[in-house]
Amino acid sequence: QVELQESGPGLVKPSETLSLTCTVSGDSISSSDYYWGWIRQPPGKGLEWIGNIYFTGHTNYKPSLESRVTISVDTSRTQFSLRMFSLTAADTAVYYCARFGREAVGGYYFYYYMDVWGKGTTVTVSS
Amino acid sequence: EIVLTQSPGTLSLSPGEGATLSCRASQSVSSNFLAWYQQRPGQAPRLLIYGASSRATGIPDRFSGSGSGTDFTLTISRLEPEDFAVYYCQQYDSSPPTYTFGQGTKLEIK
């Protein structure tokens, strides 16, 4: 049974950099069947996709966050990571990592739904 | 960017009743790349439906999804106490790859 677990600091100062790691167990992060990514949820609000990554290192990012975000993968440690720069209070949220499942359409694979989620980690941006 | 609008914002029903949740997209969702999630308080979201109508592994058959193009529906028949939660729809656009969520519908006990 695949499980995802986020880890990282709960408190970050404004203008600093957030670093989070997601550890995958029970599945191979090098599988061609999935992308792996990050979603966040500000307090009392909805869900926002941040970005995702394939085991090869190919990434997709939300355009409005792309300049401040880097996602990387370490297949040897079955982990992938999020770095977000120049934090402000608006980045305060629960951060989830998730596995992105795929479906074949017209001979191509599309990784479009999040079928396994971590429990989430709360990040507060405050001085 | 495709915007998803969910309605109603809050739905008040009793256990045993049926629920119908709506998700409307600002543009057509290609290939029905539309998913539904359930989020209980203090928990991570859980995938219910993908491909607009396919139930995820382990999801009871009282949950069903339908729709295409710009209009999608999540139907829950015979509400159980554990079904009272917030529900989100989510779409995928491949050019470029982006994922957007609706604002959520809160299903509460009447």
pLDDT 10s digits, B31-41 = 899 999 999 99
- Confidence grade of residue A125 (pLDDT, cut at 50, 70, 90): very high
Rama region for B94: left / alpha / beta (φ>0; ψ in -120 to 50; rest): alpha
Q: What are phi and psi of B31, to 5 degrees?
A: 50, 25
Would you call A35 exposed, middle or buried from its count of C-beta atoms within 10 A (0-12, 13-18, 19+)? buried
Q: B97 and A60: CB-CB below 8 Å?
A: yes
- Do the Cβ atoms of A77 and A103 come closer than 8 Å? no
Instruction: Report chain B residues touching chain A, CB-CB < 8 A.
Output: 1, 31, 33, 35, 37, 43-47, 50-51, 56-57, 88, 90, 92, 94, 96-104
Q: A114 and B96: CB-CB below 8 Å?
A: no
CA nearest A106 in B: which residue? B31
CB-based contacts of B19: which residues, under 8 Å, 6+ apart? B11, B13, B74, B75, B76, B79, B83, B107
Q: Measure A46 CA to nearest chain B CA, in Å.
A: 6
Q: Quick one: which of B1, B12, B3 has its CA closest to B109?
A: B12
- Do the Cβ atoms of B14 and B79 come closer than 8 Å? yes
On chain A, the residues whose CB falls within 8 A of the CB of B103 are: 46
Q: A115 and B50: CB-CB below 8 Å?
A: yes
Residue A75 pLDDT > 90:
no
Average of per-residue pLDDT values in chain A:
96
Alpha-carbon dihedral sign for residues B40, B45, B49, B55: negative
What the block records as the tokens of B46 is 């859980």
Task: Give me the percent of chain A exceeding a pLDDT of 90.
Answer: 94
DSSP state of A98: E
Q: Which of A96, A101, A105 sits opposite B44 (nearest CB)?
A: A96
Q: Which of A46, A63, A118 sits opposite B104 (nearest CB)?
A: A46
Residue A51 pLDDT > 90:
yes
**Interface membership of A44 toward B (CB under 8 Å):** no
- Confidence grade of residue A118 (pLDDT, cut at 50, 70, 90): very high
Q: What is the 3-state secondary structure (H, E, C) of B45-84?
A: CEEEEECCCEECCCCCCCEEEEEECCEEEEEECCCCHHHC
A110/A34 Cα distance (integer angstroms) = 10
Q: Quick one: which of A18, A14, A15 has its CA closest to A6?
A: A18
Helix (H/G/I), strand (E/B), else coil: A66: helix
Q: Which of A101, A112, A117 sits opposite B44 (nearest CB)?
A: A117
On chain A, the residues whose CB falls within 8 A of the CB of B58 are: none
- Confidence grade of residue B1 (pLDDT, cut at 50, 70, 90): confident
* Beta-bridge mates of residue B106: B10, B86
**Interface membership of A48 toward B (CB under 8 Å):** yes
CB pairs under 8 A between A and B: 65
Q: B98 and A63: CB-CB below 8 Å?
A: yes
Cis peptide preceding B96, ω within 30 of 0: yes
CA nearest B6 in A: which residue? A46
